[in-house]
Structures are given as C-alpha cells and as structure tokens.
Amino acid sequence: MKNERSEYRDADDMKDVLWGPVGTPERDAMEAELKKEVQAYMVGEAIRENRKRLNLSQTELGDRVGVKKSQISKLEHGRGIIQLPTICKVFQALGFPSAKLDLGNGESIPLW
C-alpha cells in the first residue's frame, strides 16, 4: 500500500483558496464581514463581562434597558440587529460614564 502524504497549507494560502486573492472584491467583502463579526463579538463580551461584574442577570439588565432577556442574549453573542439608542442604554445601564463615536477625521460625537 502506497503511503501518500497530504499537502498542508498555511492559513494565508487557505484564505486565498476560499476567499480569493488579496485585493479582489470577494476577498475584501469577506474580510469586511469577518471584521464586523469580530467587532460584534467583542462588544458582546464587554457587555457580558460588565453585566456579570455588576451581578446582573440578562433579565435584570434587560429590565433596566427596556428590552427582553433574549435581546441581551443576542447582544452578548454578537447576533441580531440593535439600534444605536438601545446600545447606548445598555452601556449606560452598565455604568459606562460616556462614549464617543470616532468620525475618523479627528472629530468625534458624544453618544451620551
């Protein structure tokens, strides 16, 4: 029996195979989508960690914000669509003193 060796590829090669070469519209779209998912995950983790720090259940945080427990769960898991006023209420309920939206040109807008 012949022993065939598998060909291994590094992660960058696999991205090229799956999503296309760097700079192609397909690759750019996939990387933009992946970046959004990572950001949503990180926001969700910040919400979960701070909710737990305050010893709040998802239901209790939802009551403070005026949304259902399921909405808090979706936020914590980086899923669902949330409106800016709701996310502001969540972070205010968690005790964040302020937040600003960076406009990228040296200017920012206070969110609360």
Q: Summarize pLDDT for 33-79 with one digit per residue, the tens.
A: 999 999 999 999 999 999 999 999 999 999 999 999 999 999 999 99
| pLDDT computed for residue 7 by the predictor | 74
pLDDT at 89 over 80: yes
- Mean pLDDT, rounded, of the chain: 89
For the segment 81-105, the average pLDDT, to the nearest whole number, is 90
Q: Which residues are paired to 34 by β-bridges?
A: none
Strand, coil or helix: 78 = coil
Q: State how far the Cα of 55 lies from the Cα of 33, in Å rounded to an integer.
A: 33
Output the pTM of the full model: 0.74
Q: Comparing C-alpha atoms, which of 88, 81, 18, 92 is closest to residue 54? A: 92
Q: Comparing C-alpha atoms, which of 38, 46, 53 is closest to residue 90? A: 46
Domains and their CATH numbers in the chain:
11-110 (1.10.260.40)
pLDDT at 2 over 80: no
Please give the distance of CA 39 from its chain centroid, rounded to a whole number.
3
